[in-house]
Amino acid sequence: MTLPPDAHRERLELVLEGTRLGMWDWNPQTNDVVFDSRWTEMLGHTLDEIPFELDSWSSRVHPDDLEGCFVDIQAHMNGTSKFYENVHRMRHKDGHWVHILDRGRVCEWDAEGRPTRFTGTHTDISAQVEAEHRARALAQGRTRFLATMSHEIRTPMHGMLGLVGLLQNTELSEEQARLLDLVQRCGGSLMRLVDDILDFSKVTQGGLELVHEPVEVTALMDGVVALFLPRAQDHHSTLKCTVAADVPPWVLADGHRLRQIVCNLVSNAVKFTQHGTVAIEVGTAGPLLELIVRDTGSGMADTVGIFEPYDQATPSITSSHGGTGLGLAIVKELVTAMGGEVTVNSVVDQGSAFRVVLPLHATEAPAPVESPARRAEAPNISWLRVLAAEDNPVNQLVLQAVLGEHVAQLDMVGTGRLAVEAVRSGGYDVVLMDLNMPEMDGDVATRLLREEGVGLPIIAVSADVLPETRQGCVSAGFSGFVCKPFTADDLLTALHRVVSTA
């Protein structure tokens, strides 16, 4: 059925009214413009208040946006773009700025091919833009909060675990050694909780980057068993692992993330298994690597919601077993990012079986690399004169204990300003720079030194391990990054690396 012209116009008017689109019609040769009432209402005017001329539009566009509008208009009239589309701000009658989505196209030309009719619509998208700004601000606020939390928790944890390590190297009674081991294990549990929160933030914001490297499957699983065996024994349970004969000795994967998946599953299984068994089974399923973690623990009724963040199978779990409720959510996100799938079967009071399948990529063992522990073959750093900028007295003590016997000179300062002054005075070969310090942060101090032409290696030392922080260190001119809490090997390896590349 063909509609009469009046019906077409009525339908168009209904569509425009329903969608609140403002219409404009412009002749680029004469600059005559026609606006409709919806166009003027968006800017707080009535139709009789707006002259039908191009200046009525251009004079109201934000000065910072006007040039971009004309560039996009010209691109369409030149045939570079099929349609004209631009987002810009326009001044409302009361003075505030309205965000406009402007769309149009040339529909008539003269005999010489010049456009004579350019029609289009205005859409007020201020609400969407404001929503995007709020979402961006919330994301930035969350990032700042996570960075602060990481720093505030990791800094004292670094000091505590560092002191525990120093004490463990002294003569201790059997009871003292046992108590220190408990402190270290509790500290490790707290660090894993912090890492869970940070990792969940990264994977949900798309900040997760996978590194593909040769991974020795049996060695990885043995390491997981060794990590959780004491906890399983505390629960009077057994923990074992079997690797099928058809599993390649080496696979290409992100070893850190693969270990994190297994650790989270095993940690969950051990947590809920008393006087039972936790078993890790590694095999293949066609082109897939198959990981199964079975337990004879309490089981669960809800096998869907457990993969949701902050969810616990029952409200009593948090009080009785602890945890953030993020472990399985992180497993799901990591497995998905790696191109795999995770499923679970569980029976209440009988146990659970989590199955992870990942793409299987067999590879060869990597060429032997020098271990950081082989200090005799590592670059000699006994001549190094090191400046450590660290404001925490406990962490200063740990640095002194770790580095004192390895370098020729180790001086401490407690602020970024003092670090800059010390470097300017000369006499140092490398700087260990904490990022968060009084008077002047480490990244500000480093940028200042780089602007002054100081080229000596500066290693960032921070409890803030977010990707944004690491990237900021690169742009600030740092030569390396060491995260807290660190081991002696972490610090010495970083020093060896900058000495080797200096």
Q: The domain spanning residue 39 has which CATH number?
A: 3.30.450.20
Q: Is 144 found in the same domain as 93?
A: no
Tell whether 373 is covered by a domain. no
Is it the case that residue 66 has pLDDT exceeding 60? yes
Q: Is 494 found in the same domain as 407?
A: yes
Tell whether 371 is covered by a domain. no
Q: Is 390 found in the same domain as 302?
A: no
Residue-level pLDDT at 368: 67
Tell whether 4 is covered by a domain. no
Q: Is 188 found in the same domain as 272?
A: no
Structure tokens at 208: 């997760």
Is it the case that residue 369 has pLDDT exceeding 60? no
Tell whether 164 is covered by a domain. yes
Arithmetic mean of pLDDT over the chain: 85
**Helix orientation angle between 467-476 and 442-451, rounded to the nearest 10 degrees:** 20
* 439: CATH: 3.40.50.2300
Is it the case that residue 371 has pLDDT exceeding 90? no
pLDDT digits (tens, 9 = 90+) for 254-303: 998 899 899 999 999 999 999 999 999 999 999 999 999 999 999 988 88
Tell whether 197 is covered by a domain. yes
Q: Is 337 found in the same domain as 239?
A: yes
Do the Cβ atoms of 421 and 445 come closer than 8 Å?
A: no
Element (H, E) at 437: none
Strand, helix or coil at 51?
coil
Tell whether 2 is covered by a domain. no
**Range of the structural domain that residue 418 is part of:** 385-501
Give the Å distances, CA to CA, from 91 to 45, 73, 96, 237.
11, 20, 6, 70
- Which domain-ending residue is among 90, 124, 158? 124
Residue-level pLDDT at 206: 61
Query: How far is the C-alpha of 212 from the C-alpha of 360, rounded, in Å?
Result: 12
On whether the pTM is more than 0.75, the answer is no
Is it the case that residue 116 has pLDDT exceeding 50? yes
Is it the case that residue 232 has pLDDT exceeding 90? yes
Cα 357–Cα 360–Cα 366 angle in degrees, nearest 5: 130
Tell whether 374 is covered by a domain. no
- Which domain-ending residue is among 204, 227, 245? 204
Give residue 204's pLDDT band: very low, low, confident or very high (50, 70, 90): low
Q: Is 173 found in the same domain as 233?
A: no
Q: Is 299 found in the same domain as 407?
A: no
Is it the case that residue 320 has pLDDT exceeding 70? no
Give the Å distances, CA to CA, from 185 to 228, 230, 274, 330.
10, 10, 19, 22
Based on the structure, what is the number of domains in the chain? 4
Give the Å distances, CA to CA, from 304 to 300, 329, 333.
10, 11, 14
- Which domain-ending residue is among 315, 341, 359? 359
In a 10 Å sphere around its CB, with 0-12 CB exposed, 13-18 middle and 19+ buried, how is residue 478 labelled?
A: buried
Strand, helix or coil at 358?
strand
Tell whether 346 is covered by a domain. yes
Q: 22 pairs with which residues across the strands?
A: 122
